[in-house]
Amino acid sequence: MLYFQLDNPSAAKYLEKLLSKSFWEEENASLKLEDTTKEIQKEIETQQNLAEITVKLSKALEEGYERSEKGLRKAIEKELSANEQELAKKHFKELAQKLLTSHPSGSPDFMGKVKEVLKSIHNPTASGLTVEVNGERFSVKTWRELYWALVQTAILLGKDDVVERLREKRDIVSESERKTKDGKPYPRSAFKELHSGEYLFVHHSTKALTRKIKQLLRDLKIPSSSLHVESKGRVFKLP
């Protein structure tokens, strides 16, 4: 027995097929009805499964996979079961049309650019951190380097409001301002130079740097768990 959800846009198509005069005028129409209903039932199940897959993939893209065909294929591979993967690959063009035509403001641009910056400091022999962005992994030496890479990306993309907040907190300073409260100069390792010619203060504990990175990503409206950072056997999902 078939049940139709009448507010489903597909219901009209199925009903039209079953109730059409031409169908019932065919020879052995009553015998064909069983096969036709089975086909319709299978199509309904396929559409329901695709709807569930679309929700999963949409969430995956929001959480950091690159919003491109490459990123979508990666999300299918990593986030779906074997049966779901098979169906998604069969209907890939349809899913791509739905999922890649719009995106949350700013975040895909940022995630794409941060990969470029991480590539510039990627050190395959580094044993410090492994940073995963949209399925791609980068090795960086320290949390200081990661913090710098994220701030550098914000500057390169013109995220002026976010960068200005860092200046107000004196996380970003000019060369002449690289001093302690009593006027003594900090060691050079306490700062990292930015694209703007200014300097980012990085002389923080790991805990403080993690907190600053989370706040920076939130200010940039980056979806949760967009960055996966492995450090000393632990995995941090940021922000």
- Residue that wins the pLDDT comparison between 37 and 166: 166
- The whole-number average pLDDT for the span 207-232 is 90
- 2-11's contacts with Cβ under 8 Å and 24+ in sequence apart are 2/37, 2/40, 2/41, 2/44, 10/43, 10/44, 10/47
Q: What is the DSSP string of 81-119?
A: -HHHHHHHHHTHHHHHHHHSS---SSHHHHHHHHHHHHH
List Cβ neighbours of 29 (8 Å cut-off, separation of 6 or more).
Answer: 23
pLDDT at 6: 46
Tens of pLDDT, residue by residue over 97-156, are 888 764 444 456 788 888 889 988 877 776 789 999 878 889 999 999 999 999 999 998
- The whole-number average pLDDT for the span 80-104 is 84
pLDDT at 19: 62
Tens of pLDDT, residue by residue over 187-200, are 888 999 998 899 99
Backbone angles phi, psi at 66, to 5 degrees: -60, 130
- Residue that wins the pLDDT comparison between 13 and 92: 92
**pLDDT of 3 strictly over 70:** no
pLDDT at 212: 95
- Domains of the chain: which residue ranges? 9-99, 107-238
- The whole-number average pLDDT for the span 211-219 is 93
- Residues 191, 207: Cα–Cα separation, whole Å: 18
Tens of pLDDT, residue by residue over 36-69, are 677 777 777 888 899 899 989 988 877 767 777 8
pLDDT at 16: 65
Average pLDDT, the chain: 82
- 24 pLDDT band, cuts 50/70/90, is low
**pLDDT of 28 strictly over 60:** yes
**pLDDT of 90 strictly over 70:** yes
The identity of residue 74, as a single letter, is K
**pLDDT of 209 strictly over 90:** yes
pLDDT at 150: 95
Please state which of the ranges 13-27, 88-102, 128-142, 152-166 shows the lowest mean pLDDT: 13-27
pLDDT at 32: 67
Q: Supply 109's token pair.
A: 């641009």
pLDDT at 200: 95
pLDDT at 136: 86
pLDDT at 106: 42
